[in-house]
């Protein structure tokens, strides 16, 4: 198996760290990017302690100037694989949704991935190898109330991937979107409390009736499922898989 240098945003915790740790165990070199350098370094320390190879950088994915400077900042390291994972959530009715917060979610989860891809794509073209993996969501395909900015941004990733796949058909670069339903992460834990408040129900009812009831499997998605899916997309076997939406949702979208 070929090993690659992989940059993952929001890699200090949650899904980002789970995927990073999985890929590090396969021998890949991870660049953990997070808005908090101390958190990124703590994640790197965990990976390296377990025999992996990783380094940390501070990155605000809503800062276009920081993104544009990244290739030169990381040189001579060349990024083969970009995993756009950074994300935040805000749960509110549209009438109560702060405009600045709405813009922030879109900047982090849609504009950021586009600008990061723009930054690293030239070197991928030159090397005739690149893999871009966006972390979408079941909310890239369906909607839930009180999540207008998140749903809009995650839907946007699918259109972005389709467009970029058309633009990279002339080289060995692919772009795909992994779309899980709920994964038990700190972000989801926060959502449970917020949804309980918005819907005026208990947190247990949020988990059972809102999060798991739409899934025939009725189970949270596990980190190894996400890591293994990312690993497959890096493989030669996936070289002609591009513009695709890989849905890991326990059957949610079958209805």
What are φ and ψ of residue 69, in 5° steps? -80, -10
- pLDDT cut 90: percent of the chain above it: 92
Q: What is the DSSP letter of 254?
A: G
What the block records as the tokens of 169 is: 């058909």
The answer to whether residue 37 is domain-embedded is: yes
Q: Which residues pair with 6 in a beta bridge?
A: 30, 81
Average pLDDT, the chain: 96
Q: Which strands make up the sheet holding 5-9, listed edge to edge?
A: 53-58, 29-34, 5-9, 81-84, 130-135, 173-180, 245-248
Q: Say which residue the tokens 């926060």 belong to.
A: 190
3-state class of 83 per DSSP? strand
Note if 22 is an active site residue.
Answer: no
Give how many domains the chain has, as a whole number.
1
pLDDT value of residue 186: 77
pLDDT value of residue 93: 96
Q: What is the pLDDT of residues 71-94, one digit of tens each?
A: 999 999 999 999 999 999 999 999
Categorize the per-residue pLDDT at 243 as very low, low, confident or very high, splitting at 50, 70 and 90: very high
Q: Domain residues for 84?
A: 5-181+221-248
List C-alpha distances in Å: 208 to 57, 156, 193, 217. 38, 28, 13, 12
Q: What is the DSSP letter of 109?
A: I
Categorize the per-residue pLDDT at 95 as very low, low, confident or very high, splitting at 50, 70 and 90: very high
Which one of 22, 146, 150, 182 is the catalytic residue?
Answer: 150
CB atoms within 10 A of CB 251: 13
pLDDT value of residue 213: 92
Average pLDDT, stretch 237-250? 98
Q: What is the pLDDT of residues 174-217, one digit of tens each?
A: 999 999 999 988 778 888 988 898 899 999 999 998 899 999 99
The answer to whether residue 84 is domain-embedded is: yes
Contacts of 49 (CB under 8 A, 6+ apart): none
The answer to whether residue 202 is domain-embedded is: no
Average pLDDT, stretch 230-241? 97
Contacts of 107 (CB under 8 A, 6+ apart): 61, 62
Average pLDDT, stretch 251-255? 94
Helix, strand, coil percentages in the chain from 3-state DSSP, rounded to 5: 50, 15, 30
pLDDT value of residue 194: 85
The answer to whether residue 214 is domain-embedded is: no
**Strands (E) located in 36-172:** 53-58, 81-84, 130-135
CB atoms within 10 A of CB 235: 12
Q: What is the pLDDT of residues 17-53, one digit of tens each?
A: 999 999 999 999 999 999 999 999 999 999 999 999 9
pLDDT value of residue 106: 98
CATH of the domain at 134: 3.40.50.720
Q: What is the pLDDT of residues 100-120, one digit of tens each?
A: 999 999 999 999 999 999 999
The answer to whether residue 200 is domain-embedded is: no
The answer to whether residue 35 is domain-embedded is: yes
- pLDDT cut 70: percent of the chain above it: 100
The answer to whether residue 115 is domain-embedded is: yes
pLDDT value of residue 195: 86
The answer to whether residue 159 is domain-embedded is: yes
pLDDT value of residue 120: 98
């Amino acid at each position: 198996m070929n090993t690659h240098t992989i940059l993952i945003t929001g890699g200090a915790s949650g899904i980002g760290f789970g995927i990073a740790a999985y890929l590090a165990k396969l021998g890949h070199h991870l660049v953990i990017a997070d808005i908090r350098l101390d958190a990124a370094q703590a994640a790197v320390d965990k990976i390296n302690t377990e025999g992996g190879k990783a380094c940390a950088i501070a990155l605000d994915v809503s800062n276009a100037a920081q993104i544009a400077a990244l290739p030169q900042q990381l040189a001579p390291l060349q990024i083969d694989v970009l995993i756009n994972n950074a994300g935040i959530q805000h749960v509110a009715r549209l009438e109560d949704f702060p405009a600045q917060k709405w813009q922030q979610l879109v900047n982090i989860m849609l504009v950021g991935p586009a600008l990061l891809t723009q930054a690293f794509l030239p070197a991928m073209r030159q090397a005739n190898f690149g893999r871009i993996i966006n972390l979408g969501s079941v909310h890239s395909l369906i909607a839930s109330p009180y999540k207008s900015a998140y749903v809009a941004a995650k839907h946007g990733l699918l259109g972005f991937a389709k467009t970029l796949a058309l633009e990279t058909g002339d080289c060995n670069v692919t772009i795909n979107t992994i779309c899980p339903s709920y994964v038990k992460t700190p972000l989801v834990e926060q959502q449970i409390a917020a949804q309980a408040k918005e819907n005026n129900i208990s947190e247990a009812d949020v988990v059972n009736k809102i999060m798991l009831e739409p899934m025939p499997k009725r189970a949270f998605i596990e980190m190894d499922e996400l890591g293994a899916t990312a690993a497959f997309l890096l493989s030669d076997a996936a070289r002609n898989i591009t513009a695709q939406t890989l849905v890991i949702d326990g059957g949610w979208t079958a209805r």
